[in-house]
Amino acid sequence: MAEIPVPTTYRERLAQFKILEEKRFELIEELLAKLETCESQLAQTRLDLESEQNVRRTLQAEVVEAKEKETALAQKQARRPFALVLIDADAEGFMFQDKYITRRAQGGESLADELLIRMREYLRPLFEDADSIDIIVRAYANLEGMANYLVRQDKVRNLGQLRAFSTGFCGRISSFDWIDVGVGKEGGAGRKVRENLAFYSSNSHLRHVVIACSPADLPSSLLSTLPLDKITLIESAPLPASLTSLPLKTAKFGTLFTAPPPPKSPRTRGRGPQLQLSQKDDPNGGSTWLVINPERSKSQGAGLRRRGESEDDSSSLSISIGPDNTVSVDGGRSRRRLMG
């Protein structure tokens, strides 16, 4: 291996020092460049860290605020929770038993007491604080139509008796209301139940809702949009498959409601006014007869019998047209002859 010559002169030695200085400056420049890069990265990292800290602090504050709101809401709900009972009390809906509706105001008060007891009993297995839950009852009915139905059934004498019953029901418990919906075009009582169900189901204080209503007024399209775990249907007749397929609670309250009325059968032929067109022989020629037999109620028939009259004597109207265009009218008890 060849040996490196040792500089002997001052100039040679100076040239070697210049080369060393240049190498040192190059090293210093390289170190400075790396230092500046590291400082820049450190500054960016510091900014990112501060940003992350700010985000974390914001999220922590939001979590604390959300927990405080949740706690406040839970405390607010716990202060005044309620259960809602919606009833279609029309004749075609869920009618209460005769022992209540036939006793005027006293019957209404007894019904309110019984309804409160039964609702408490039903809610106790569902909620530990069932006895502290307010129970709100809304019963909807067309009182006039309901009274007409009950009068025909010989259960009440007039609308006044039914109004006294509803007044006793409302006055007994402050959170119980009986609402007269009048004659509605769209099934007034059922529509009221449906609309109140949709309105109250989103209320944060509502624990449960119990519904007594015809399945026809509770479409599955509506129920599927509601919290079904909060809903109980009162069952009097078998529910349709569209409702039994939903995860709904059902209950029966035989001490409150009567069995639903049988479906209306079509009017039998011969009950209404009867028209009979017949031909009668006459010495001078044929006569055409038109006989009208009007429908008679039981009370009208009884009145005729009390007066000693036959129903056949006054239950038909005969109009005859003779060959000479003579018109005769026979009303049973009187006969009139009209010339054509």
Give the amino acid at 180: D
Sequential DSSP letters for 177-208: EEEE--S-TT-HHHHHHHHHHHHHTT-TTEEE
Q: Strand ranges (DSSP E) for 235-286?
A: 249-251, 274-280
Residue with tokens 């900014």: 47
**Quick check: 167 pLDDT over 90?**
yes
| Average per-residue pLDDT for the chain | 78
pLDDT band at 156 (very low <50, low <70, confident <90, very high): confident
Kindly provide the residue ranges of all beta strands, DSSP E only, lying in the chain, ordered along the sequence.
82-88, 134-141, 176-180, 206-212, 231-234, 249-251, 274-280, 287-293, 317-321, 327-330, 335-338
* Residues in a beta bridge with 292: 275, 317
Residue 210: per-residue pLDDT? 93
Read off the pLDDT band of 237 (50, 70, 90).
confident
Tell whether pTM > 0.75.
Answer: no
Task: Count the neighbouring beta carbons within 10 Å of the beta carbon of residue 223.
Answer: 20
25, two tokens? 């400056």
CA 240 to chain centre: 17
> At 273, which helix (H) or strand (E)?
none
What are the pLDDT digits (tens) for 181-192?
887 655 688 888
Give the strands of the sheet with 274-280, arranged side by side.
274-280, 287-293, 317-321, 327-330, 335-338
Q: What is the mean pLDDT of residues 321-331?
A: 60
User: What length does the chain have?
Assistant: 340
80-251 to CATH, choices 3.30.70, 1.10.10, 3.40.50, 3.30.460: 3.40.50
What pLDDT shows up at residue 278?
47
Least confident window among 78-82, 135-139, 244-248, 282-286: 282-286
**CA separation for the pair 224, 87 (Å, rounded):** 20
- Amino acid letter, residue 21: E
- Residue 69 in this model has a pLDDT that exceeds 50: yes
For 10-54, what is each residue's pLDDT tens digit?
888 888 888 888 888 888 888 999 999 998 899 999 999 988 999
pLDDT at site 139: 93
Q: Tell me how far apart the alpha carbons of residues 30 and 16 are, in angstroms, rounded to a whole number.
A: 22
Please report which helix (H) or strand (E) contains residue 86, including its range: strand 82-88
Could you give the CA distance from residue 333 to residue 304 in angstroms, rounded to a whole number? 12
Token pair, residue 326, equals 């003579």
Distance CA 293, CA 313 (A): 11
Report the C-alpha gap between 273 and 182 in whole angstroms.
31
> Distance (Å, rounded) from C-alpha 152 to C-alpha 261?
14
Please state, for a pLDDT cut of 90, what percent of the chain lies above it. 19
Burial of 266 (0-12, 13-18, 19+ CB in 10 A): exposed
pLDDT band at 246 (very low <50, low <70, confident <90, very high): confident
Query: Half-sphere exposure of residue 167, counting CA atoms within 13 Å on the CB side?
Result: 9
Per residue in 275-322, pLDDT (tens digit) is 444 444 444 554 444 444 454 444 445 454 555 554 444 445 556 655
Report whether pLDDT(335) > 80.
no
Q: Which residue has the higher pLDDT, 111 or 273?
A: 111
- pLDDT band for position 258 (cuts 50, 70, 90): confident
Q: How far apart are alpha carbons 178 and 166 in whole angstroms?
A: 6
DSSP state of 267: P
Within 10 angstroms of residue 112's Cβ, the number of other Cβ atoms is 22
Q: Can you read off the two tokens belonging to residue 99? A: 């022992």
Q: How far apart are alpha carbons 32 and 15 in whole angstroms? A: 26
Three-state secondary structure call for residue 76:
helix
- Domain extent listing, the chain: 80-251, 274-338
Question: How many Å apart are CA 132 and CA 3, to the nearest integer?
Answer: 107
Measured CA to CA, the distance from residue 292 to residue 298 in angstroms comes to 19
